[in-house]
A and B are shown apart, each in its own frame.
Chain A
């Protein structure tokens, strides 16, 4: 059983389009994250939700809007896509154990043409 799943795995789209990436975790975790990994493999946190409430919102353009319909899901919607949005986007969830282990999804590779 996949713990953290993301769809789609690959997304190729034109500049200016709007797209969504979905994430689901079946671990019963309260906290979920979106990370962006650029072409140099640098990983930066974008958002964090705890029990459907936004708790971290890094300096991300407001074209990016996360939505958490329930604590098992955290979706990422991106408006007016730009070339610089091309990256791999990872969803993660965090357990309640004290040492803050995060479980990552397989990633969604977004290519904006």
Chain B
């Protein structure tokens, strides 16, 4: 079945770059996603990438996709304390009816 794996914790200093990595199993997923969950809140879509792209840049965010290795990464440039949150990688299930989420990476940013 579908599975999404990511490391659970990342700690960086303010101003540094953060890189959160994810591996997934279902190569048929048309899109891959990064969601952000701030403390006490629901998830919000941060960015997504179409499966035929290698890279997508959106301001401080860069998404890299290696389809051959089924590896997705999210780079946050100039990380700020407000970026502290849990970041979830997700792929679509085979039917395209639901998202399969990774376990989430807790990003902690210290000043």
Of B50, B96, B98, B104, which contacts A41 at CB under 8 A? B104
In the complex, A27 has a CB within 8 A of chain B: no
Number of interface residues of A (CB under 8 A): 24
Neighbouring B residues of A107 by C-beta, 8 Å: 40-42
* Interface residues of chain B: helix, strand, loop or mixed (majority): strand
Neighbouring A residues of B10 by C-beta, 8 Å: none
Whether the Cβ atoms of A105 and B101 lie closer than 8 Å is no
Q: Given contacts A56-B98, A107-B42, are A101 and B48 in contact (CB under 8 A)?
A: yes
Neighbouring B residues of A31 by C-beta, 8 Å: 97
CA distance A105 to B41 in the complex (A): 8
**Interchain residue pairs with CB less than 8 A apart (23):** A4-B42, A31-B97, A41-B37, A41-B103, A41-B104, A43-B88, A43-B104, A44-B101, A48-B97, A55-B97, A56-B98, A90-B43, A92-B42, A99-B30, A99-B31, A99-B50, A100-B31, A100-B96, A102-B43, A102-B99, A104-B44, A106-B42, A107-B40
